[in-house]
Structure formats: C-alpha cells, structure tokens
Amino acid sequence: MADQLPSWTDGPAKAQILEFVRSVTEPGASFVPAADRIAAFDNDGTLWCEKPMNPQADFLLRRWEETAQAHPGKAKEQPWKAVTEGDQAWLAGVLAHVPELTRGVTEAYAGITVEAFERAVRAFFDTARHPVLGVPYTRLGYQPMRELIDLLTAMQFEVYICSAGGRDFVRAVAGQMYGIPRQRVIGSGTTLEYRHGAVYRTKGVEQPIDDGPGKPVHIWTRTGRKPLLAAGNADGDAAMLRTARFGLLIRHDDAGREFAYDAGSEKALAKAKERDWTVVSMQNDFKVVFDL
Amino acid sequence: MADQLPSWTDGPAKAQILEFVRSVTEPGASFVPAADRIAAFDNDGTLWCEKPMNPQADFLLRRWEETAQAHPGKAKEQPWKAVTEGDQAWLAGVLAHVPELTRGVTEAYAGITVEAFERAVRAFFDTARHPVLGVPYTRLGYQPMRELIDLLTAMQFEVYICSAGGRDFVRAVAGQMYGIPRQRVIGSGTTLEYRHGAVYRTKGVEQPIDDGPGKPVHIWTRTGRKPLLAAGNADGDAAMLRTARFGLLIRHDDAGREFAYDAGSEKALAKAKERDWTVVSMQNDFKVVFDL
C-alpha cells in the first residue's frame, strides 16, 4: 500500500496519526460514521509559517504604509506614526497579538464590501514575498500537513481551518494552498452589514474572536460538533484540542528549515502529556517542511 | 427521463426551476462550477409549516409551562403569568416575532451545554404533535421542497438552511427532515461560552439575528459566498433573495391543504416582479403538500 504521508518520518507521531485514522474509519469499536468525521486545523504555525511575522501582519503593515504615504497628516497618530518612524518595537508589539492584529485589519479595511476586501487580500498574496525565505507566502504551507489534510479528506473527513487570524483573509488562499473550500474556513472576523444587495465590512470585531476558548465556540457554531481530530501549535489551540478525540500539537523546533520557538505554546506543551496529545516535532517528524 | 420534481405541478414555477438548474449545471454561458453552487433555504414557512404557531414557539411555550408548574412563585411575572392565566393574546404577540422568540428560547435554556439543549429539542420533536394536523412536526416538511433539495444536492449544490429561527433547534431535525447535515444549518443563535471542555449556552442573542439584513451576513460568514439559489416566503427573506442569482418565493395560498396567509410577506410579494423572483403558489404549484 502506498505511503499516505510520504513527507512524514516513520516515527511515533506518524504511527499514531495513521492508527487513529484507521481506528475511526474501519469497522470496530472506535468506528465513526463519515457524517461525523470533522477535523479542525489551526492555521498560523500549524498549516503555514508564522515567523518572523504572520502573513496577515505583513498585509496590515503594508496597508498602514500606504495610508501613511497617502495621508502625511496622519503621521503623528498610531499606527501610522510607528510606520513612518520605523518603530519596529511598537509594531512588533501590536502585530504579534491576535486581538490587536484583528482589530487593526478590521479598522484598516472598514466600509468596503467583502468582495473588495478579498481582492485586496489576493493582490497581497500575488505580490508579497516572505522576508526571510523570499518566496510567496502561498508556498509556505507545511507539506506534511497538506498531506494530512488530503489523507483525512480521502477518508471522508470534512476538514475545517479554525484560525485565530482573519477568516476572510485565509479564505482567499485556502483552496489554493490546502484544497480546503472557502465555506470550511472558520476564523476571526470583522462585523458585517448588509446594504442594498451587498455585504460590507464594518469597524467592529466579531465576538468571541476565534482563539483560545473562542475556538470550540466557533467550531460548534459552524459545524454543530466537536472535532474528531484537531491540530494546533499554540496555547490558543489548547481548548480546541481538549474537545477533540485526537489532538495534534506541532512543535517548532527546527531552526534550520523553519524557525525554532516555543514562546506562546508553553502551556499547551506542558498539557500535552496529561491530555494525551500527539506532539509533532518539525525537526524529527517532518521529512520535508515546505514544497519549494 | 424521470420527473425530478414529481410533487410539483407542471407549470411556470417548476419549469423555471428546472431551467435554472439546467442552465448552471450544463456547459454554456451560465455554467457555474460545482464548488460555487450554494443554495440557501429559509425554514419557517419555506421548508416546514409555521402555522398556527411555529414549532419553536410551541417548544418555548412548553418550557414556560413546565417552569410555571415547578415554580408557582413565578406566576406573577411574564412570561409565566401569561402561561398560568392562559393569556393567548400576550403569548401570540411574543411568539410571533423572531427577536422575542429567540430571546425567549435563549433565556429559557441558558446555562446548559449545547448537547443538553439538543436532547431537550429531540425530546420535544419526539412527543409534540401539531395542534391542528395532529401529527409530529417532523412530518410537516413540504414534500415538494424536499424534492427540490434532493434535486439540488444531486446536481452538486451544497444546500444550506438559513433560518431566522434557532440554528441549534433546527439542527436537531435537519438531517431527518431534509437530508441536510447539521453543519449546513445557518440560523439565529444564543451566545455561547467554553468552559472546561464543554460549550455552554449563555443568555445573550448572537447579533445580528439571522433574519432580514442578517441573512446575507450569516450566509457570507458561513459560506463565503452569495447563494446561487435562495428560497423564502417572508419579508425577512427579501435581502437573501436579492443577493441570489435565482430567487424562489413561496406563497401560502392553500387554505385547504395548509394555511392561507400573506401577512408578513406583503413587501416580498410586492418586490417579486421587480426582482424577477419565481413565486410558488402552494395551491397551484404543489401537487402534494405533506408526505402524510
């Protein structure tokens, strides 16, 4: 039989994944009907590279730069002041935190239709390059995770992205990068308003955001289920993983091929053993990281 | 070729539906790829009978009765006062309006898990009978609409319910009644909260509710699209129908087999010609109403 996860090293993580998928799809005590096979994947750091800056932070930074150039009068106010003055410390502080990042995108793109926003996102992905690796962000999905999505899809799972980042940002590329259709992207969102046949973005942030305890809430709202399998990499994924039958926690420990960091995932890593989550070491468990 | 809509009378409505489905699924200028074929159906009065009282109103009334019996001290406060005194006018006023009904259900079932709520809904559907027709509510879906859902599903549409009523209420029976899986039920909802591995209902109402201008917002949030086909029966469906390529408006004009009423749909009916919606007369276009 062909190797279903060829970019994964043969080891405990791969074996546990394959055994779990087998156990719920073959007749037996653990069998789950296809209709109930829901999988939920975090995106930043689980499906795509989020360092040194996640793509949505880059997207927002460019918007602030455009605005600062078009309206020099704004240069005394944040965030345009930080952009104008190159205040990296201030920007890093804002762009690293999901609620601030979400609010930033929401405010920077308020008042346009959802379709116009998607065109702006597409234009960004068509032109932006990763600052270190120099390739389009759309090529920086983790190849082993794409294989896992494809395996689950082949086994009749309905696979969802459950991202703390922007739902409508990720939707623009989820099909291309992961083969996940737009209706299966769950994420944080701006408030929306219908007027005269169109849906417009407004300035608010939909509550709760899709992070931490918000993830199981969003997954229920969207699917009416708890996930059978969930995958994440950060403390904000711990609640989602806890509600899943099988939890995968990606560990960023490969400084050579990606970036090595545990910051923001300390609590989740500490819980992994107690909760019986499968910890995936990018260094040891990924034969290939990116398909470059 | 077999008749795909056998419960529909051969007439203009059936012909327009079949022609539309043909035009978007066969090669040609109007062709739409399967991945973009989203259909959205209102529920109350479009898929199931909503007179003399919609099932969710009956569900809520029974809860109030239980509470009034268990806590006689509440009999001086609304809504338990109206239940205790049999104040039909007061009850009818509350139960006929979606926001009040939604708030009522939300408050009456706050603090329990989403799974416990679903068990309460299931118990209701297993025992309640329609007050006039005397059969379980689950047998009062419109047979011709079920055929239309099945036809669209066979033509690779992804069919969603988009109900002003409770998402988690409708989910409990959407599979059984319509063959629509729970993740494709869009509707109004209570606010939710995650605690210690479970998702609990809280007292708030998620905004916007899924009615009127809220419907296109909910459809975008959940599917990332405008619907290719939308079906409704009331003024609260007009915004959704306006965003769809093909709009169906069900008219309740069959006093013999169902209930005859235009109240609450006057504006939508007045717009139908201008917007080129296909108006379905239950009397003329439905050969069969219910599969009893």
Interval B170-189: pLDDT, tens: 999 999 999 999 999 999 99
The answer to whether the beta carbons of residues A260 and A252 sit under 8 Å apart is: yes
Residues with Cβ < 8 Å from A52, sequence gap 6 or more? A131, A132, A259
- Amino acid A99: pLDDT: 87
Q: What is the dihedral of CA A166, A167, A172, A175, to 10 degrees?
A: 130
Tens of each residue's pLDDT in chain A, 292 residues = 689 999 999 999 999 999 999 999 999 999 999 999 999 999 999 999 999 999 999 999 999 999 999 998 888 888 999 989 999 898 888 888 888 888 888 889 999 999 999 999 999 999 999 999 999 999 999 999 999 999 999 999 999 999 999 999 999 999 999 999 999 999 999 999 999 999 999 999 999 999 999 999 999 999 999 999 999 999 999 999 999 999 999 999 999 999 999 999 999 999 999 999 999 999 999 999 999 8
Contact criterion met (CB < 8 Å) for B217 and A193? yes
Residue of chain A whose alpha carbon sits nearest to that of B180: A35
**How many whole angstroms separate alpha carbon B233 and alpha carbon B269?**
9
- Amino acid A97: pLDDT: 86
Q: Shortest CA distance to B47 belongs to which of B151, B121, B182, B140?
A: B140
CA end-to-end span of chain B, whole Å? 27
ipTM here: 0.96
For helices A143-154 and A12-25, angle between their N-to-C axes, nearest 10 degrees: 20
- Amino acid A168: pLDDT: 98
Q: Is residue B118 predicted with pLDDT exceeding 90?
A: yes
How far off is chain A from B88, nearest CA to CA, in Å?
A: 34
pLDDT in tens, A61-104: 999 999 999 998 888 888 999 989 999 898 888 888 888 888 88
- Which phi and psi (to 5°) does residue B212 adopt? 55, -130
Residues with Cβ < 8 Å from A201, sequence gap 6 or more? A106, A109, A110, A111, A112, A113, A114, A117, A190, A191, A192
Helix, strand, coil percentages in chain B from 3-state DSSP, rounded to 5: 50, 20, 35
Task: Say yes or no: A183 contacts chain B, CB-CB below 8 A.
Answer: yes
Residue of chain A whose alpha carbon sits nearest to that of B215: A194
Write the residue in A35, A175, A189 that is nearest to B181 by C-beta. Answer: A35
- pLDDT over 70, % of chain B: 100
**How many whole angstroms separate alpha carbon B64 and alpha carbon B62?**
5
DSSP string, B32-52: --GGG-EEEE--BTTTB---S
Q: Is residue B76 predicted with pLDDT exceeding 90?
A: no
**How many whole angstroms separate alpha carbon A225 and alpha carbon A219?**
7
Instruction: Please list every residue in chain B whose beta carbon sits closer than 8 Å to the beta carbon of residue A222.
Output: 183, 222
- Amino acid A204: pLDDT: 95
What is residue A8's three-state secondary structure? strand
The mean per-residue pLDDT over the stretch B140-151 comes to 98
**How many whole angstroms separate alpha carbon B182 and alpha carbon B114?**
13
- Amino acid A35: pLDDT: 95
- Amino acid A75: pLDDT: 84
The answer to whether the beta carbons of residues B120 and B109 sit under 8 Å apart is: yes
How far off is chain A from B212, nearest CA to CA, in Å?
A: 9
Q: What is the dihedral of CA A203, A206, A210, A214, to 10 degrees?
A: 140
